[in-house]
Amino acid sequence: MKTSLKYLSFFIICILLTGCGIYIKPEKFDLDPQLLKSFKSNDPIKVLVPDNAETKYRIEYSGKFGLFVGGEYYVDLNDLNRNAKELINEVLANHNVPLSPNAKKYLKFTITKAQWEKWAYGPMREAYLEFDIETGDAYKKHYRVQDRSWEDVGRAVGGTTSRAVEKIFQDEKIISYIESH
C-alpha cells in the first residue's frame, strides 16, 4: 500500500511540475467607447481576418516565474479572430459605415503572437496580444496590447481582442483611411 501511495504521490508531483494543457474558449467583451475616435464615411468597407487559423495555438508563457505557473494554455485563433472581426464590424456599424463583403476598402486584422504571465505567484493574470492591422492603401501597423484578470488566463486572453480593437480605432491613419473617398 505504501509503495502504491509513493508512486501516486510521485505521479501527482510530476503533473503539478509539468502542468496540464488547458484549452481556452475566449469570451468577447465590450469596448470602452471613450477610447474610440469619432469618424464617419459613406464608403463601404470589409473586415478581413485569416481563414482557417491554427486551432490549437499555444499561448506562450512570458513571465519570469516559470515554475508552478499552472500549465500550458491553448486557444483556437479562429475564435480570437472572430471576436476581433465582430468588434471591428460593430464599431464601423455604430459609426454608420456601410459593411460589404464586396467592398474595395478593407481593414485586415492578423494575430502574430499571444502570451500570458502570472504576476509574482499572485492571482493576477496578464495576457498580451500582438497583431497587425493593414488597410487597403498599404498602411500597416504592428501593435501589442494587454489585458489582465483576477479570475484566470482565459478572461485576460479574451479581453485582449477588445483592447486590440480599441487600439485600432485610436489610430489616426486608420480613421483617415476609413473617411477617405
- Phi and psi at 108, nearest 5°, equal -115, 120
Residue boundaries of the structural domains of the chain = 20-179
> Does the pLDDT of residue 178 top 60, yes or no?
yes
Instruction: List the beta bridge partners of residue 73.
Output: 22, 59
Cα angle 132-74-115, degrees, rounded to a multiple of 5: 45
Higher pLDDT, 68 or 137: 137
Q: Per residue in 119-175, pLDDT tens?
A: 656 667 899 999 999 999 999 999 999 998 887 888 999 999 999 999 999 999 999
Q: Per residue in 75-105, pLDDT tens?
A: 999 999 999 999 999 999 999 999 999 999 9
Instruction: List the beta bridge partners of residue 75.
Output: 24, 57
Arithmetic mean of pLDDT, 21-29: 92
> Does the pLDDT of residue 51 top 60, yes or no?
yes
pLDDT of residue 17: 47
Q: How much is the mean pLDDT over the chain? A: 88
Out of 1.10.150, 3.40.50, 2.60.40, 1.10.10, the CATH code matching 20-179 is 3.40.50
pLDDT cut 70: percent of the chain above it: 82
Q: Alpha-carbon distance 5 to 146, whole Å?
A: 43
Q: Alpha-carbon distance 43 to 104, whole Å?
A: 9
pLDDT of residue 14: 47
Global pTM reads: 0.85
Q: Alpha-carbon distance 147 to 73, whole Å?
A: 16
Using pLDDT thresholds of 50, 70 and 90, give the confidence band for residue 107. Answer: very high
pLDDT of residue 91: 98
User: Cell match 492603401: residue?
Assistant: 137
